[in-house]
Amino acid sequence: MAVYTEVTDEEVAAFVADYAIGAVVACKGIAEGVENSNFLLATDRGTFILTLYERRVRPEDLPFFLGLMEHLAAAGVPCPVPVRAQDGTALRMLAGRPAAIVTFLRGLWPKRPTPHHCSGVGEALAALHLAGLDFPCGRSNDLSVQGWRALLEACVSHGDRFAADLADDLAEELTAELAALETAWPQQLPAGIIHADLFPDNVFFERDRLSGVIDFYFACRDFLAYDLAICLNAWCFEPDGSFNITKARRLLTAYHARRPLTASELAALPLLARGAAMRFLLTRLYDWLNTPRNALVSPKNPAEYLQKLRFHRRIRGPEGYGLGRP
């Protein structure tokens, strides 16, 4: 269960009393998510999400995240809106943690994404990118190519456990792959605000309509096409590891219809997809090696992203993702 900080009924009631959202009726921990403590907060005036930000989120980044959600929502992107307290602040303290209340979005995340879901995600991601172009604040992507070497070295330093849990030659393969990515990584692509974590559990659908995009706590400035590459990894592979080219085509064409991709972005897509696979492989590997065996939150298996990385390494152009086909 992804509730790391427990709060009492009395603490929640006192916290909510400073908002004009009514009296607390119920507050229940949300099991999904691994970064923060989230609660479904019901008052006599509506339903909200209460989030306590845990140690992996830097407090100095929180105004960026909350301001971005306000900016995107004002531009029509369906995302949570921070609720400001009666003193005008959106970020406050609860149980020793920075905390915020945001609006509740209706819908369910797709546990078995279809090509239709992928079209909706492509269109929504393009809308998010366009809406973020005039967002005045910035935050660098600490989990882009410049941060991967330190992650890999931290994983390899586990020595015996790394070798016991994973393939003997994996360290050599990842070291060679990282060197190739560092050498070839693009320098001049269209950049702006990206979500950076748009997995299916961060997108809600109500029937067939995309109703919400949530969890902006990895958002940052980076190449826009890199965000699209993250989505290729997150949405276009089947549970057995096979790549679904129909999903990829629908995702990319829906995005391109809203925000046309440049020739340089299309050419870089296989490399960006390799990089996106490397990013999630390394963060999952780090958590796999550093999470205690008896932890309440089970780390995700990194092997899934090793398979995806190897797939993207074989792709030579955007046609490998279904573009240019009838």
Cβ 265 vs Cβ 155: under 8 Å: no
Reduced to 3 states (helix: H, G, I; strand: E, B; else coil), residue 24 is: strand
What's residue 289's pLDDT?
Answer: 83
Taking residue 308's Cβ as centre, other Cβ atoms within 10 Å add up to 24
What's residue 288's pLDDT?
Answer: 84
What's residue 148's pLDDT?
Answer: 96
Note the pLDDT tens digit of each residue in 105-132: 999 999 999 999 999 999 999 999 999 9
- Per-residue pLDDT at 293 exceeds 80: no
Q: Is residue 109 part of a domain?
A: no
Give the position of tokens 């990319």: 252
What's residue 174's pLDDT?
Answer: 94
Q: Is residue 180 part of a domain?
A: yes
Q: Is residue 186 part of a domain?
A: yes
Give the position of tokens 């065996």: 293
Q: Say how far apart CA 300 and CA 67 lie, in whole Å.
A: 30
What's residue 287's pLDDT?
Answer: 85
Note the pLDDT tens digit of each residue in 259-282: 999 999 999 999 999 999 999 999
Last-in-domain residue among 103, 133, 159: 103
Are residues 74 and 199 located together in one domain of the fold? Answer: no
Are residues 72 and 122 located together in one domain of the fold? Answer: no
What's residue 151's pLDDT?
Answer: 94
Are residues 167 and 315 located together in one domain of the fold? Answer: yes
What's residue 300's pLDDT?
Answer: 81
What's residue 162's pLDDT?
Answer: 58
Are residues 162 and 98 located together in one domain of the fold? Answer: no
Are residues 99 and 123 located together in one domain of the fold? Answer: no
Q: Is residue 1 part of a domain?
A: no
Note the pLDDT tens digit of each residue in 76-96: 999 999 999 999 999 999 999
Are residues 244 and 149 located together in one domain of the fold? Answer: yes
Q: Is residue 2 part of a domain?
A: no
- Per-residue pLDDT at 7 exceeds 50: yes
What's residue 290's pLDDT?
Answer: 78
Are residues 301 and 156 located together in one domain of the fold? Answer: yes
Domain enclosing residue 39, as ranges: 9-103
What's residue 23's pLDDT?
Answer: 96
Q: Is residue 169 part of a domain?
A: yes
- Per-residue pLDDT at 208 exceeds 50: yes
Alpha helices in 5-47, H assignment, sequence order: 9-16
E strands present in the chain: 24-29, 37-43, 46-52, 82-83, 92-94, 97-103, 191-194, 203-206, 209-213, 220-223
Are residues 123 and 161 located together in one domain of the fold? Answer: yes
Work out the average pLDDT over 311-315: 97
Task: Give me the CATH number covering residue 62.
Answer: 3.30.200.20
Q: Is residue 108 part of a domain?
A: no
Are residues 78 and 130 located together in one domain of the fold? Answer: no
Last-in-domain residue among 44, 73, 103: 103
pLDDT band, very low/low/confident/very high, at 1 (cuts 50, 70, 90): very low
- Per-residue pLDDT at 202 exceeds 70: yes
Cβ 91 vs Cβ 189: under 8 Å: no
Work out the average pLDDT over 15-29: 96
What Cα–Cα distance (Å) separates residue 217 from each residue in 54, 156, 177, 281, 313? Answer: 11, 27, 27, 19, 29
Note the pLDDT tens digit of each residue in 127-166: 999 999 999 998 999 999 999 999 999 988 875 655 555 6
Angle between helices 145-156 and 170-184 (to 10 degrees): 160
Task: Give me the CATH number covering residue 198.
Answer: 3.90.1200.10
What's residue 298's pLDDT?
Answer: 65
Are residues 65 and 40 located together in one domain of the fold? Answer: yes
Note the pLDDT tens digit of each residue in 179-192: 999 999 999 999 99
pLDDT band, very low/low/confident/very high, at 325 (cuts 50, 70, 90): very low
Last-in-domain residue among 51, 72, 103: 103
Note the pLDDT tens digit of each residue in 31-75: 765 678 899 999 999 999 999 998 778 889 999 999 999 999 999
Alpha helices in 206-262, H assignment, sequence order: 224-235, 245-258
Strands 191-194 and 24-29: unpaired
Number of domains in the chain: 2
Are residues 176 and 58 located together in one domain of the fold? Answer: no
Averaged confidence pLDDT in the chain: 91
| Cβ-Cβ contacts under 8 Å for 64 (sequence gap 6 or more) | 137, 138, 139, 219
Are residues 64 and 159 located together in one domain of the fold? Answer: no
